[in-house]
């Protein structure tokens, strides 16, 4: 069944002003015939008027009630837990658990039943394991803010500490070991269904601030992308998510605006009437799409149960997103499964611009008593955005070499389409034509996902303007590791090139050394710090392979495979990720 699963989520905060907003939100959703979930915050559980309203809504309108873990700070919280910490995900583990225990107990006293859903900006694996063990009735949780991290941090003048980069954008079964890694199998699954906090613009998720360009209508006012009470981008945004149903069995959509955004006095939402108009228009359009049979409105826990019933563990999800804001014609393609998350920038000719290897399932637990402290980002092997751009930074691309010139497909923008292949969705780019030493070469790229941590990449040469020219085509993977924009210590990485019994290795020491091998079977980098190995393997045999060490000013490694190709021929390689 292809449907967009819709959660309209409202947060109940304490106080009359915010209750007035909640009343407005509930009335708007009911006017459009949409189900809602109200997540109640700490302070609201001590506000009788708010709790009465929420309980009545549940009784009269079949609203689900759960808990939200933001807005913790109030007098009771300070007195009871002796802290000013705003973020539940940054509290020491024992305090965090005590807060959740207290909130669940208080919730049960107020409403007379146990919550089935809990929301937060981040719930790390340690917290998910705790929830599963102590509160098995909680089966669905809002676990992460997709790709909120460095760009959001910079944009907020380095004052909003939320680092949640590198995970899935949709619904998934989180691993016991890491809240951002989809589980590989039943044993690996923590036992909860994870939802993202909001949907994001999937181009701006990498290039800008996806906290501003999301399924949160009022953030468009913050971004100054509205004209009064109009911002049709919001409606095109919903259409873009509906478009994803062409490639996936289901799509998740979360409309979640907390009360301050719709109240008077918000520093960024200076026109509450316009904010409410935009909010109402989003609901109206989602209701319109529901009436067209494209949207199924559910409560949060209903979505979790639907997912358990319909989606097996380790089901891949893809997203092909076109820029609908800036008019750049840029497209990004995303793929995620239990082994990795990969992003292809079609503006860079079909270049892998981001790669997160989940095979190692690294601990990304946060809090004052953890090694990671604030940093919940899952490590990348490739992040062009954080580490130098697609030209100078980490990337995987195809390089064309002819008459002494070297040009990568990165140099020409293209667009792509998702087609159905034997192993599931495939990405195919439109051809790009490049001038390589005075010879025009036209190349098309295809990315296939057979599972098991493998990407098959085909670069097919469609035409060469000079048939006498000798063209070399080289698949090139330039990688590193990190979670921020700063280089990490690369020592400990082992590079290798292998052909039959001939295996050569070097330990990374910033020495700019090269391992070169003929008729390679694989070139690889082993990264103990990411507990993973990344390799390039030829599908049909190639002439040359290299593993190249970087140096301090360019702290990367480069793996490459290639050889001479003629028009009509392809270079087929596999990018293979496995745990070490």
Partner 1 sequence: MKTYRCPMCFARDVDVVFLLHDSVRDEHYCPQCAYSASAGEVEARLSAYCAARYRMAARPHPFASRVRETAEGVRSDER
> What are the start-end ranges of the E strands in 361-487?
382-383, 395-402, 405-408, 416-421, 424-429, 432-436, 439-451, 454-464, 471-479
Q: Length of the chain in residues, anyone?
A: 580
For every residue of 78-106, DSSP letters joined together read HHHH------GGGS-HHHHHHHHHHHHHH
Q: 213 near 223, Cβ under 8 Å?
A: yes
Would you state the structure tokens that stand for residue 567, as one six-digit string?
């028009």
Classify 172 as helix, strand or coil. Answer: strand
Q: How far is the CB of 186 from partner 1 (least distance, A)?
A: 42
Residue with smaller CB distance to partner 1, 70 or 330: 330
**Which residues, 6+ apart, have CB-to-CB distance to 114 below 8 Å?**
104, 107, 108, 135, 137, 138
Q: 298 near 29, Cβ under 8 Å?
A: no
Which residues, listed in sequence order, are joined to residue 478 by a DSSP beta bridge? 395, 558
d(CA 122, CA 256): 15
Residue with smaller CB distance to partner 1, 281 or 569: 281
Would you state the structure tokens that stand for residue 180, as one six-digit string?
């951002």
Q: 182 near 174, Cβ under 8 Å?
A: yes
Q: How far is the CB of 406 from partner 1 (least distance, A)?
A: 33
Residue with smaller CB distance to partner 1, 170 or 280: 280
Residue with smaller CB distance to partner 1, 148 or 317: 148
Residue with smaller CB distance to partner 1, 176 or 222: 222
Residue with smaller CB distance to partner 1, 271 or 472: 271
Residue with smaller CB distance to partner 1, 281 or 543: 281
Residue with smaller CB distance to partner 1, 383 or 476: 383
d(CA 574, CA 458): 9
Q: How far is the CB of 209 from partner 1 (least distance, A)?
A: 6
For every residue of 238-254, DSSP letters joined together read HHHHHHGGGTSSEEEEE
DSSP 567: T
Residue with smaller CB distance to partner 1, 235 or 316: 235
Residue with smaller CB distance to partner 1, 6 or 126: 6
Q: How far is the CB of 147 from partner 1 (least distance, A)?
A: 14
Binding residues for partner 1, per CB under 8 A?
Answer: 151, 154-157, 159, 208-209, 212, 220, 222-227, 230-233, 235-236, 239, 267-268, 270, 280-281, 284-285, 288, 323-327
Residue with smaller CB distance to partner 1, 103 or 320: 320
Residue with smaller CB distance to partner 1, 14 or 413: 413
Would you state the structure tokens that stand for residue 420, as one six-digit string?
């159905």
**Which residues, 6+ apart, have CB-to-CB distance to 45 below 8 Å?**
51, 103, 106, 107, 110
Would you state the structure tokens that stand for residue 115, as one six-digit string?
């919550």
d(CA 131, CA 137): 9
Would you state the structure tokens that stand for residue 451, as one six-digit string?
């599972």
Let me know if 229 is exposed, middle or buried by CB neighbors in 10 A (0-12, 13-18, 19+): middle
Residue with smaller CB distance to partner 1, 112 or 265: 265
Q: How far is the CB of 157 from partner 1 (least distance, A)?
A: 5
| CA-to-CA separations, 457 to 256, 522, 573, in angstroms, rounded | 38, 15, 5
Query: Smallest Cα–Cα separation from 249: which of 296, 190, 184?
Result: 296
d(CA 25, CA 86): 25
Q: How far is the CB of 140 from partner 1 (least distance, A)?
A: 30
| CA-to-CA separations, 467 to 50, 409, 565, 568, in angstroms, rounded | 76, 20, 11, 12
Q: How far is the CB of 346 from partner 1 (least distance, A)?
A: 17
Q: How far is the CB of 238 from partner 1 (least distance, A)?
A: 9
Place of tokens 């971004």: 223
CA 421 to centroid of chain Cα atoms? 24
> What are the start-end ranges of the E strands in 485-531?
494-499, 502-507, 514-518, 522-527
């Amino acid at each position: 069944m292809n449907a967009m699963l819709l959660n309209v989520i409202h947060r109940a905060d304490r106080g009359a002003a915010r209750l007035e907003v909640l009343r407005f939100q509930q009335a708007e959703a009911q006017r459009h015939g949409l189900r809602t979930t109200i997540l109640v915050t700490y302070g609201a559980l001590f506000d009788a008027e708010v709790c009465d309203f929420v309980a009545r809504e549940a009784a009269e309108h079949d609203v689900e009630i759960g808990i939200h873990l933001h807005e913790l700070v109030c007098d009771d919280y300070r007195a009871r837990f002796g802290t000013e910490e705003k973020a539940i995900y940054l509290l020491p583990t024992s305090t965090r658990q005590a807060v959740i225990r207290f909130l669940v107990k208080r919730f049960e006293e107020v409403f007379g039943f146990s919550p089935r859903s809990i929301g937060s900006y981040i719930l790390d694996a340690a917290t998910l394991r705790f929830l599963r063990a102590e509160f098995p009735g909680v089966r669905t949780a809002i676990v992460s803010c997709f790709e909120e991290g460095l760009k959001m941090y910079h944009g907020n003048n380095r004052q909003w500490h939320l680092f949640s980069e590198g995970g899935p954008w949709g619904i998934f079964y989180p691993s016991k070991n890491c809240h951002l890694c989809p589980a590989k199998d039943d044993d690996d699954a923590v036992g909860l269904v994870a939802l993202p906090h909001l949907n994001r613009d999937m181009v701006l998720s990498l290039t800008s601030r996806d906290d501003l360009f999301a399924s949160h209508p009022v953030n468009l006012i913050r971004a100054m992308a509205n004209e009064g009470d109009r911002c049709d981008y919001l409606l095109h945004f919903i259409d873009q998510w509906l478009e994803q149903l062409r490639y996936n069995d289901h799509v998740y959509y979360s409309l979640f605006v907390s009360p301050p955004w719709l109240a008077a006095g918000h520093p960024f939402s200076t026109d509450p009437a316009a904010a409410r108009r935009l909010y109402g228009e989003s609901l109206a359009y989602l209701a319109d799409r529901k009436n067209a049979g494209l949207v199924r409105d559910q409560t949060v826990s209903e979505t979790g149960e639907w997912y358990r019933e319909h989606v097996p563990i380790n089901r891949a999800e893809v997203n092909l997103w076109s820029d609908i804001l800036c008019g750049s014609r840029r497209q990004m393609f995303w793929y995620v499964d239990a082994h990795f998350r990969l992003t292809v920038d079609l503006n860079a000719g079909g270049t892998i611009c981001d790669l997160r290897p989940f095979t190692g399932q690294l601990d990304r637990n946060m809090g004052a008593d953890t090694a990671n402290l604030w940093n919940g980002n899952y490590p990348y092997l490739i992040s062009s955005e954080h580490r130098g751009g697609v030209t100078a930074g980490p990337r995987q691309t195809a390089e064309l070499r002819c008459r002494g010139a070297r040009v990568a497909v990165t140099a020409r923008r293209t667009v792509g389409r998702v087609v159905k292949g034997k192993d599931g969705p495939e990405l195919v780019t439109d051809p790009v034509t490049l001038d390589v030493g005075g010879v025009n070469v036209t190349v098309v790229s295809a990315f296939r996902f057979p599972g098991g941590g493998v990407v098959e990449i085909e670069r097919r040469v469609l035409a060469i303007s000079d048939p006498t020219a000798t063209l070399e085509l080289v698949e090139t993977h330039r990688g590193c590791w990190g979670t921020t924009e700063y280089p990490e210590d690369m020592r400990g990485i082992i590079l290798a090139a292998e052909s039959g019994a001939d295996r050569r290795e070097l330990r990374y020491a910033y020495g700019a050394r090269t391992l070169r091998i003929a008729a390679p079977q694989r070139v690889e980098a082993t990264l103990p710090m990411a507990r993973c190995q990344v390799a390039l393997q030829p599908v049909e045999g190639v002439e040359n392979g290299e593993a190249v060490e970087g140096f301090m000013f360019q702290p990367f490694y480069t793996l490459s495979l290639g050889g001479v190709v003629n028009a009509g021929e392809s270079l087929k390689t596999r990018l293979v990720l496995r745990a070490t």
